[in-house]
Amino acid sequence: MESNVRTIPSTLKGKDLLTLLDYSTEEIKYLLERAVELKHAQKHGKMAPLLAGKSLGMIFENASTRTRVSFEVGMTQLGGHALFLSPRDLQIGRGEPICDTAQVLSRYVDAIMIRTNSHKTVEELAKYATVPVINALTDDYHPCQALADMLTVYETKGLYKGLKVSFIGDGNNVAHSLVIICAKLGIDIAVATPPGYELNQSILQKAKEVAKRTGAVIEQTNDPVYAVTGADVIYTDVWASMGYEAEQENRLQIFQPYQVNKSLVKHAKRDFMFLHCLPAHRGEEVTADIIDDPKHSYIYDEAENRLHAQKAILTALL
């Protein structure tokens, strides 16, 4: 059976994962390298029950496919157990304070994963919980997705520095975490959004402070062609993220010039990778011929890597 080959940094045990801003470059690289090991072990039938007897409480205030399945399967592969908890299953759905929920769940489970809207909710949960809290998505951040993204890039390109990532679309939670992880790993990134839909300026400034230390170049622009020029990786997301469905029709018009299509990708490197966190709307943020191109699209590898990246997180924090 696969043993715990890589020594877990002492700084990670018991740590929360709220945003990758709280993680060092070394800690992020450890998680990515550990994910590679765990993926290899699973593919070769050598997974060890590293989390036998451990339980993960999963709080979902939003619908999910990839997040729920990948965390549940990940815990199963590691010999542990995951509990799905919707607002209907919890007293927070009837007004119980987060502080009470956090402290009670901490007596039952070994870690808490939460997918919610407000990042303040995750911060409050972490404040009162005595077990690690993992942010599985908020309006501001999506750190687990960013780790899966970079795992996919690393597997394909074999390096970090020297790469250029281009994000086209809405300056949302996925874009925020992508910019942060690129900054931490020394990867150049250009983000192109329509005017008024840029990245949160406070988060962008924090990422730029990190980039000063790693040598990454972070650019924000309204010009998608400029952002894509010379890119090794092109990334997009839906134009109306969860919670913004009411703006869908208006956004369809505003974001149309930011569609990833053949005309746009010709400005990238010839061997560019296309990434999308899914779910995708073919014909909106990306054309079908790009997202379904077996030569350039890595969306299903990326989706699978949520499983392996999250197993690395779980084994490191629990």
Q: Three-state SS for 182?
A: helix
**Ramachandran class of 37: left when φ > 0, alpha when ψ lies in -120 to 50, beta otherwise:** alpha
Respond yes or no: is residue 145 known to be catalytic: yes
The phi, psi pair for 42, rounded to 5°, reads -65, -40
Q: How many residues does the chain have?
A: 318
d(CA 252, CA 46): 47
Residue of 110, 144, 237, 296 with catalytic role: 237
Respond yes or no: is residue 115 known to be catalytic: yes
Respond yes or no: is residue 88 known to be catalytic: no
d(CA 37, CA 173): 28
Q: Distance between the two ends of the chain, CA-based, in angstroms?
A: 20
Residue of 42, 77, 145, 220 with catalytic role: 145
Q: What is the dihedral of CA 141, 145, 146, 149, to 10 degrees?
A: -160
C-alpha 296, offset from chain centre: 20
Q: Can the peptide bond before residue 257 be classed as cis, meaning omega within 30 degrees of 0?
A: no
Residue of 34, 42, 66, 115 with catalytic role: 115
Residue of 142, 251, 296, 308 with catalytic role: 142
Respond yes or no: is residue 296 known to be catalytic: no
Residue of 34, 277, 296, 308 with catalytic role: 277
Q: Give the DSSP H/E element, type plus range, for residue 150.
A: helix 143-157
Respond yes or no: is residue 271 known to be catalytic: no
Respond yes or no: is residue 144 known to be catalytic: no
Q: List the catalytic residues.
A: 115, 142, 145, 237, 277, 306
